[in-house]
Structure 1
Amino acid sequence: MEGGNAPARKVMVVADPTRESAAALQYALSHAVLENDTLILLHIENPNTWRNTFGLFKWPSSQAASTTAPSAEGCRGDLDFLEAMKQACEIAQPMLRVHVEVVEMGSKDKAYVILSQSTAHGIDLLVIGQKRSLSNALLGPKRNVSLRGLDTAECLIQNSKCTCVAVQKKGQNAGYLLNTKTQRNFWLLA
């Protein structure tokens, strides 16, 4: 897409080492961002997961103490996917400004942390990969359920102040299935 005279926007992609997150980034790069936009790759770390618990053994023993959250260039081997995602962005759109943010989830809900980060950064478009369960695919999303009952993507779609797009990649060349607050199961051919 050409940047033209469009005003610069801030686009945030929720980055995880999953197929769904890779599809969300691929969609954002090919259909959502312009060259004068800023893209923020947001990774939410959960210190309570078993991967982070056992990941301690992968850290170098002579680490320098740091008061900031680890970045893509940080010492944690399990964050290499962020560097790969950033490089993919730079290859796909060399003029795009790309930033990586790593935030600890703490005791908060993942959706709450993403919403607060999108508000703090003044995000215009939030993109998240969505994994559909068989029951959601057959029955559709649940209505009038508490936030705890919704998956992260549905919670973000319903509660985000900015436009939120949940992306599902459908096959290698089949396109994307998109969900927003106003459009459900919108099919975008690749």
Structure 2
Amino acid sequence: MRKRVMVVVDQTSHSKHAMMWALTHVTNKGDLLTLLHVVPPPKPNTSHHDSSACCPYLANSLGSLCKACKPEVEVEALVIQGPKLGTVMSQVRKLEVSVLVLGQKKHSAFINCFCGTSSSEEFVDQCIKKADCLTVGVRKQSKGMGGYIISTRWQKNFWLLA
């Protein structure tokens, strides 16, 4: 059965790690990998081309990388402007996504002690709670350790050696 796997991508290394993890661990021949890059709406009194100029290039270049790594998986790149959480949730429903994959940043002791959770961690947690499909937060393990730290609705910070 063909499944649709969606990865939320941006310029960060953790989203690229999540994309590669999804490509190698979740997708199979004939599956569809959707790369979703959400661009924030322009702020009043700013030119909207500043933040969105690189976006089609980013999504398309990541899509080309995926096709080169695993040509048997169909890849599409979407760039949508809007609020990040709302846009991701609406695309999950609209496209009938089977698995949503999100990159997670490493936990910072400074942020956790003094500021609480970061907005990135909060975003991943909200997606895991709200999405109508299996949602996986992926963080590459630190150098020397290998593997990934995986979070889902049922398991948080699970170490996966792969």
TM-score (norm 2): 0.83
Asked whether the equivalents of residues 38 and 81 of structure 2 are also in contact (C-alpha less than 8 Å), the reply is: yes
Instruction: Quote the Cα distance in structure 1 between the aligned partners of 2:54 and 2:149.
Output: 32
Gaps of 5+ in 1: 1-6, 59-69, 71-75, 143-147
**Aligned positions of 1:10-159 closer than 5 A:** 10-48=4-42, 53=46, 56=49, 76-105=53-82, 109-134=83-108, 151-159=122-130
Change (3 A) 1:170 1:129: same
Distance 1:92 1:83 in 2: 14
Name the CA shift for 1:185/1:57 in 2 (closer, same or farther; >3 Å).
closer
Aligned residues: 155
Q: State the AA in 2 paired with 1:88.
A: L
Q: CA deviation at 1:133?
A: 3.6
2:151 matched to which residue of 1? 179
Following TM superposition, by how much is the alpha carbon of 1:132 offset from its aligned partner in structure 2, in angstroms? 4.0
In the alignment, the residues of structure 2 paired with residue 164 and residue 30 of structure 1 have an alpha-carbon distance, to the nearest angstrom, of 16
- Tell me the CA shift for residue 55 of structure 1: 7.0
User: Contact 2:42–2:48 at 8 Å: present in 1 too?
Assistant: no
Distance in 1 of aligned mates of 2:11 and 2:70:
21
Task: Please report the RMSD computed on the Cα atoms of aligned residues, expressed in angstroms.
Answer: 2.8
Once the 2 structures are TM-superposed, how far is the Cα of residue 104 of structure 1 from its aligned partner? 0.8
Contact 1:11 1:39 in 2 (8 A): yes
The list of structure 1 runs, each at least 4 consecutive aligned residues, that deviate by more than 6 angstroms after superposition, is: none
Q: Which runs of 5+ in 2 are unaligned?
A: none
- Tell me the amino acid that sits aligned with residue 137 of structure 2: A
Pair 1:122–1:54, CA change in 2 (3 A): same
Q: 1:183 to 1:98 in 2, by over 3 A?
A: same
Task: Report if aligned partners of 2:59, 2:78 keep a CA contact under 8 Å in 1.
Answer: no
- Give the number of the structure whose alpha-carbon radius of gyration is greater: 1
What is the TM-score with the length of structure 1 in the denominator?
0.72
Is the contact between residue 149 and residue 157 of structure 2 (CA under 8 Å) also seen in structure 1?
Answer: yes
Instruction: Tell me, in whole angstroms, the C-alpha distance in 1 between the residues paired with 2:112 and 2:30.
Output: 36
Identity %: 29
Partner of 1:162: 133
